[in-house]
Amino acid sequence: MTVIAHYKDVPDSARGYSVALGNFDGVHAGHRAVIEGAATAGGKLGIATFEPPPRAFFRPDDPPFRIYRPARRNARLAEIGAAAIFELPFNADMAAMTDEAFARDVLKEGIGASHVTVGFDFRFGRGRMGDAGRLASLGRALGFGVTIIEKIEALGAKASSTAIREALIAGAPEKAAEILGHDWVVDGIVEHGEKRGRTIGFSTANLHLGELIHPRHGVYAVRARLAGESEWRPGVANFGRTPTTGIRDPLLETFIFDFEGDIYGQQLEIALVRYLRPELKFDVLDDMVAQMHRDVEDARNHLAG
């Protein structure tokens, strides 16, 4: 798969793709329908998305909202057949483009799309001036085909990245999984923490989520996988600020069952399976340890089921 982080001077070998156009943050059922529409239009399958997302450009002070980091999103897109991904740089110049300029300069002359597929609610151009119907009209004038995919529903509502975020913030990763088609997975490099866990029998692998959306604080049944491994290991994780041992920036701390090893500095994936309980503050450390043992048992039961 080829990743091209621009739309100017695109090589001939990367032109002429049937392109699915959108944000594709979660690669959920609605996104996959757009991609399938582009694939059925014929020709090589390409994905055109925005990097950074327009929301990050227009609202830089928003809390973290990404469902996947770009590398994981691209890997998911490659898994479902994308041969090329165009990461269109969303900056002040692109934000100022009219809908016509975007269709002409980016889609036609820039990446040389032969066909473009979008969702029914796609908007583009300065101030979101253009919609999917306008793109179809511009495509006819400029010489590329356009397919518009109608609403795809999940859980009785539109499958959307917003619905996934709302589920995660509410502590319902299983609802997010129904929209995504799989458990929500975060990834990152295992960091050194305060190392308190090892003193009470719960050594944890620690990840900062950074630009990824922050799910509800609390304890989760999870599965963990190290880079290069195929096996998912069961575990329990806390995402939060550890009010018992000292408030700090939110951290995902994962206790992997029946595992020993030094994995600092390694890439780790954590799949959130079930929310078990909110984060609590304990007055006595022994009470916290007793609760952690109960959390381990709860997580084992959920994961076994």
What are the structure tokens assigned to 153, written together? 């529903």
Torsion, Cα 213 216 222 227, to 10 degrees, reads: 20
User: Strand 205-207's sheet: what is its strand order?
Assistant: 184-189, 267-277, 218-226, 233-240, 251-256, 205-207
Q: Note the pLDDT of residue 155.
A: 62
| All domains in the chain, ordered by first residue | 2-157 (3.40.50.620), 183-304 (2.40.30.30)
Q: Note the pLDDT of residue 249.
A: 83
Q: pTM of the entire structure?
A: 0.89
Cα–Cα dist 298/274, whole Å: 10
**C-alpha distances in angstroms, 303 versus 233, 279, 291?**
10, 20, 18
Q: Note the pLDDT of residue 239.
A: 96
Q: Note the pLDDT of residue 202.
A: 84
Q: Which long-range contacts (CB under 8 A, 24 or more apart) does 156-164 make?
A: 158/30, 159/28, 159/29, 159/30, 160/28, 160/30, 161/23, 161/25, 161/26, 161/28, 161/67, 164/26, 164/28, 164/67
Q: Note the pLDDT of residue 153.
A: 76
**Cβ neighbours for 205, distance < 8 A, ≥ 6 positions apart:** 190, 224, 253, 254, 256, 263, 268
| CB contact at 8 A, 266 and 182 | no
Q: Note the pLDDT of residue 40.
A: 95
Q: Note the pLDDT of residue 157.
A: 66
Q: Note the pLDDT of residue 285.
A: 83
Q: Is 18 in a helix, a strand, or coil? A: strand
Q: Note the pLDDT of residue 5.
A: 95
From first to last of its 305 residues, the chain has per-residue pLDDT tens of 899 999 999 999 999 999 999 999 989 989 999 999 999 998 999 999 999 999 999 999 999 999 999 999 999 999 999 999 999 999 999 999 999 999 999 999 999 999 999 999 999 999 999 999 999 999 999 999 999 999 887 666 678 899 999 999 999 999 999 999 999 999 999 998 665 655 566 889 999 999 999 999 999 999 999 988 999 999 999 999 877 666 568 999 999 999 988 899 999 999 999 999 999 888 888 888 999 999 999 999 999 97
Q: Note the pLDDT of residue 228.
A: 86
Nearest to 217 by CA among 270, 164, 253: 253
Q: Note the pLDDT of residue 283.
A: 83
